[in-house]
Amino acid sequence: MNRYISNADFEKLVDEITRQVMASMPTAAPTPTSNPAKPAAPAHPHSGGCGPDCCECKDGRCVRDCSDRVKLVVNTGAGRITSGLGFIPRDLSIARYIDHTLLKPDASAAEVAQLCKEAREYHFASVCINSAYVPLCADLLKGSDVAVCTVVGFPLGASPAEVKAYEAQLAIQNGATEIDMVMNIGVVKSRDIKALRHDIGTVVKTCHAHHVICKVIIETSKLTDEEKVIACQVAKVAEADFVKTSTGFGGGGATAGDVALMRKVVGPDIGVKASGGVRTYEEAQAMVKAGATRIGASAGVMIVKAERGEQVGASTAKY
């Protein structure tokens, strides 16, 4: 889509796409299923279902469709595989989906250090922490395969776009390699598409100038389905790398239904992060099945242990 389309035309386009998406929605949202047996490895719904004889490895489809070939490359020594952000190899462990998260306001330096230690041990995708701890995490995770993710405009999203962009800029200078921004929920409620486009686009532009991933938190618990569709459309046009369900502090968390809706709106080429209230392996699997390519969780260790069949106790983690 032309990113320089006029705001008036863009608003009309958003309205039309929103009507189409809402008209095609099922009457009931998908619900997670529970199975006492250990589920199979994550199978992304957009992986194409390619069998062993149909993969020609053109245009990056090996990563998307041929998990056996990707595994061979990784086992040979590759540390990173290029793919669209919307796709995850089917055979990767659940750990590589997880942003290991500690965002409570009273988190201590010792707790953050423990978070980093666990992230190194279990090879989580990232640690997600408040920005004051970015320098500490960047130092503790140096040389590892774990990214440093922080949040801006957190948790309300109501600060000006330029303030969020400055937060992002400072965090990046301190070592952050991924930024999760909270969009301005009020402008969505006001249907001010121009303001929302500015809010998201300003932060995305700052992140991409430094080759840093930007995820947009839309806070699904505060939105109607129609507003979720609008928010995801604007984030996609603003060239965000992910849309994310929740802060975990907004009175609700991720649901498989919301993840499926977000995936439907943004398509296969950008990521969807399910965050807030994902505490078990079965819940994580349900999010992946619905279309999530990243999961924000403070119970990451328990989720991975459950995947491995290890004994886990009751979760005391707080997102």
Greater confidence, 65 or 246?
246
The confidence score (pLDDT) of residue 147 equals 98
Beta-strand ranges (E) seen in 185-293 are: 213-217, 242-244, 271-275
| % pLDDT > 70, the chain | 76
Would you say 254 and 278 are in contact if contact means Cβ atoms under 8 Å apart?
Answer: yes
Residues in CB range of 162: below 8 A, 6 or more apart: 202
pLDDT tens digits, residue range 126-154? 999 999 999 999 999 999 999 999 999 99
Confidence class of residue 47 from pLDDT cuts 50, 70 and 90? Answer: very low
Amino acid letter at 245?
A: T
For residues 56-67, give the mean pLDDT: 42
pLDDT averaged over every residue in the chain: 83
- State yes or no: is 180 an active-site residue: yes
Residue 273 annotated as catalytic: yes
Share of the chain above pLDDT 90, in %: 67
Distance CA 314, CA 50 (A): 38
Q: Which residue has the higher pLDDT, 283 or 48?
A: 283
Residue pair 89/71 in contact (Cβ under 8 Å)? The answer is yes
Catalytic residue chosen out of the listed positions 180, 199, 241, 258: 180
C-alpha to C-alpha distance for 183 and 163, rounded to whole angstroms: 12
Report how far residue 26's alpha carbon sits from residue 18's, in angstroms, rounded to the nearest whole number: 14
The answer to whether 87 and 64 are in contact (CB under 8 A) is yes
Average pLDDT of the segment spanning 20-31: 63
The pLDDT assigned to 82 comes to 44
Instruction: Give the per-residue pLDDT at 190.
Output: 97
Under the banding of pLDDT at 50, 70 and 90, the label for residue 284 is very high
Note the pLDDT of residue 87. Answer: 54
> At 102, is the pLDDT very low, low, confident or very high (cuts 50, 70, 90)?
very high
Active-site option among 164, 215, 236, 273: 273
Please report the pLDDT score of residue 58 as a whole number: 40
Instruction: Write out pLDDT tens, residues 212-250.
Output: 999 999 999 999 999 999 999 999 999 999 999 999 999
The band of 193, judged by pLDDT with boundaries at 50, 70 and 90, is very high
pLDDT tens digits for 153-171?
A: 999 999 999 999 999 999 9
Give the pLDDT score at 86: 64
The catalytic position among 199, 244, 258, 289 is 244
More confident residue, 228 or 59: 228
Q: Are 121 and 100 in contact (CB under 8 A)?
A: no
Q: Predicted confidence band at 319 (pLDDT cuts at 50, 70, 90)? A: low
pLDDT of residue 20: 73
Q: What is the pLDDT of residue 51?
A: 38
205 is catalytic: no
pLDDT surpasses 80 at 90: no
Interior angle at CA 224, CA 218 and CA 225, nearest 5 = 85
Average pLDDT over residues 54-65: 42
Domain boundaries, the chain: 41-91, 93-319
Query: At 4, is the pLDDT very low, low, confident or very high (cuts 50, 70, 90)?
Result: low
Q: Which CATH number fits domain 93-319: 3.40.50.300, 3.20.20.70, 3.30.365.10, 3.40.50.2000?
A: 3.20.20.70
